[in-house]
């Protein structure tokens, strides 16, 4: 059975090679798109982890500090810190803005103003934490390096260090800076905050505020890109369907071309099940190398993609299984062609 399947693929090696590449490209792009969604989620999670705390106090009626944040006095943090069950509380300011470069370029960024030395503890991969006013940390997605100058509002700032993977809103990089600097740059110096990050479990809250847990905060930070995430996932699924169609087409063409061969095999006592296994095996033998092409393509595309891509290691392990499953499904789709073969046709074919 294996020899027959291999012989058929070898005889049509050009068609097989084209199919392997085509299927590999479809699977590779699907894998890359899954990595885009994973990177968006990982960036949001890392932002929340960097800010710290296990609850957020926000203005009453606010859905959270990230999706259209409302503001209240930053001094609210002092009142929250006095509430029973609270071990630490710090105000943060979260707004979207742009960094202007000396060259005239503009970088979209999510600004997070925080209280240095408190709950928020960034971990620079290059450079150092800000040690004086006018210094900022930026994510690698900005393309900036320690020592670079940027302008935010009326302030000229110096990049003191770079963090990695701290982003949200579809991978837009985060700029971390002292709360006072953020207020001067974005709010004309007004002492406002978007939320108070809390360590502990407050049993009471100041009037006019609400408490959000981390699950609610994750929903808030991911809500603006919910439709984009769903669209990327849908396109990835459509690519898998397209790959299934290519595999099924190859298997169907093979079944059509081997009609006389299958009639002879059935006339000599071969079962429909045996023929079906050949078709399934041929499909699997095409998808196996295609899965290798897909993995290599995803690795190559990762640094070239305009958005962050983080394909989880488990996805690289699952991807060959998905490819083989598609091969089996495609083979089974054309089994009907083998089952309709009439053994009597073999004798007609020989006259």
pLDDT at 351: 46
Query: Which tens digits make up the pLDDT trace of 74-103?
Result: 999 999 999 999 999 999 999 999 999 999
Residue of 173, 197, 170, 175 lying closest to 186 (CA atoms): 175
Distances (CA, A) of 160 to 43, 146, 183, 209, 212: 21, 5, 19, 35, 32
Predicted confidence (pLDDT) at residue 319 exceeds the cutoff of 70? yes
pTM (two decimals): 0.80
Residue of 83, 3, 39 lying closest to 232 (CA atoms): 39
Q: Three-state SS for 113?
A: strand
Confidence of residue 350 (pLDDT cuts 50, 70, 90): very low
Between 215 and 280, the more confident residue is: 215
Is the distance from CB of 292 to CB of 25 less than 8 angstroms?
no
Please state, rounded to an integer, the average pLDDT across all residues of the chain: 85
Predicted confidence (pLDDT) at residue 334 exceeds the cutoff of 80? no
pLDDT at 41: 93
Confidence of residue 337 (pLDDT cuts 50, 70, 90): low
Between 347 and 302, the more confident residue is: 302
pLDDT at 329: 76
Length of the chain: 351
Predicted confidence (pLDDT) at residue 258 exceeds the cutoff of 70? no
Token pair listed for 110:
């999510």
Confidence of residue 323 (pLDDT cuts 50, 70, 90): confident
What does the alpha-carbon distance between residue 52 and residue 68 come to, in Å, rounded to a whole number?
20
Query: Which tens digits make up the pLDDT trace of 95-152?
Result: 999 999 999 999 999 999 999 988 999 999 999 999 899 999 999 999 999 999 999 9
pLDDT at 17: 85
Q: Of all residues in the chain, what percent carry a pLDDT higher than 90?
A: 60
Predicted confidence (pLDDT) at residue 256 exceeds the cutoff of 90? no
Predicted confidence (pLDDT) at residue 161 exceeds the cutoff of 70? yes
pLDDT at 314: 81
Q: Is 51 exposed, middle or buried (0-12, 13-18, 19+ CB in 10 A)?
A: buried
């Amino acid at each position: 059975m294996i020899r027959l399947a291999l012989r058929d693929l070898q005889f049509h090696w050009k068609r097989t090679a084209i199919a392997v590449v085509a299927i590999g490209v479809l699977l590779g792009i699907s894998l890359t798109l899954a990595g885009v969604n994973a990177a968006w989620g990982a960036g949001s999670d890392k932002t929340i982890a960097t800010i710290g705390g296990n609850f957020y106090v926000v203005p009453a009626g606010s859905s959270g500090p990230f999706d259209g944040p409302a503001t209240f006095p930053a001094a609210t943090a002092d009142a929250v810190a006095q509430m029973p069950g609270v071990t630490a509380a710090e105000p943060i300011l979260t707004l979207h803005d742009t960094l202007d470069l000396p060259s005239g370029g503009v970088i979209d960024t999510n600004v997070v103003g925080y209280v240095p030395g408190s709950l928020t503890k960034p971990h620079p991969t290059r450079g150092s934490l800000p040690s004086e006013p006018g210094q900022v940390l930026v994510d690698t997605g900005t393309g900036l390096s320690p020592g670079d100058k940027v302008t935010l509002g009326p302030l000229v700032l110096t990049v003191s260090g770079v963090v990695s993977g701290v982003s949200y809103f579809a991978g837009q990089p985060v700029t971390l800076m002292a709360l006072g600097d953020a207020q001067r740059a974005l709010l004309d110096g007004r002492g406002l905050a978007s939320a108070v990050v809390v360590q502990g479990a407050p049993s009471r809250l100041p009037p006019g505020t609400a408490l959000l847990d981390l699950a609610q905060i994750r929903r808030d930070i991911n809500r603006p890109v919910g439709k984009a995430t769903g669209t990327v996932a849908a396109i990835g699924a459509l690519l898998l369907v397209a790959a299934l169609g290519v595999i099924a087409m190859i298997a169907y063409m093979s079944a059509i071309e081997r009609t006389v061969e299958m009639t002879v095999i059935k006339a000599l006592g071969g079962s429909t099940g045996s023929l079906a296994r050949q078709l399934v095996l041929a499909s699997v033998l095409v998808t196996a190398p295609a899965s290798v092409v897909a993995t290599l393509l995803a690795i190559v595309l990762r640094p070239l993609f305009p958005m962050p891509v983080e394909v989880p290691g488990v996805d690289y392990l699952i991807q060959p299984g998905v490819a083989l499953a598609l091969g089996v499904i495609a083979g089974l789709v054309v089994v009907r062609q083998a089952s309709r073969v009439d053994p009597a046709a073999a004798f007609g074919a020989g006259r």
